[in-house]
Chains A and B, each alone.
Chain A
C-alpha cells in the first residue's frame, strides 16, 4: 500500500503478557517514529530511527519497552510484562528525508488494551 501500515489494529492482552506491534513505513522513508496516545492525551514520543544511525530512545518510558527496525524498513515495538497503564494507541510515523522538518506520515495506530 501507499501509506504507513500498522498491525494489529487492535490488541487485547492480559497484564504481564508480552506484546509486539508492527509498523511498515512508506517505502523509501528513512525516518521512523513511534508515538503513544493515551485516552484523551497528546502524542507522547517513544523512539526514533533514522537510517543507520543509533536510534533516539529517549522517550521509552521503561526498560519493558524496546523497538527494532530491521533492514531500514519494518519496525517492531515490543512491550514486555504489560501493565494496565500501557493501554493506549501506539502510532507509527515515517518521513522521507533526513531533515527533521519534513511531513510525518502516520499509520492508523495499534490500539492496545491491557486487562
Chain B
C-alpha cells in the first residue's frame, strides 16, 4: 500500500516569511495529492490539490509542486499570516479502485508576530 512521509513535523516562521512543507510517497500509481489544513479543535479541510498531469498549481498565497520522478510534492505558503497557524497534512491516492486516502503525519505550522 501507499506510504506517505511528511517533513518537518513542526515549523515556526515569522509573519510575512514563507513556509515549505515536503512529502514523499511510495506508490508510483498515486496520481492525486491533496493538502488539508486542520485548525485547533476542527476537522481537516481541503486547501489545495494537484494531479499528476501538472507539475505546479497555485491559489493566491498557496502553491503545490509535484515531482513524479522523485515521488515528492511540496506545499508552499508565501507571506504567512497568523491565521495560517495550523496542522497541515499531505495525502496521496491512486485514482481508480483504491479507496483510502493515505495521509502524512502532519506538520504543525506556527506563524509568529
Residues of A within 8 A of B (CB): 4, 33, 35, 41-43, 45, 48, 50, 56, 58-59, 91, 93, 99-101, 103-104, 106-109
Contacts and interface: CB of A to CB of B under 8 A. Distances in A.
Contacts of A50: 99
Q: How large is the interface on B (under 10, 10 to 19, 20 to 34, 35 or more residues)?
A: 20 to 34
Contacts of A104: 36, 44, 46, 101
Given A43-B89, A100-B95, A106 B102 contact: no
B100 A48 contact: yes
A77 to B, nearest CB: 15
Interface string B73-113: 00000000000000001000101101111111110000000
Given A41-B105, A42-B104, A48 B99 contact: yes
A106 B34 CA distance: 14
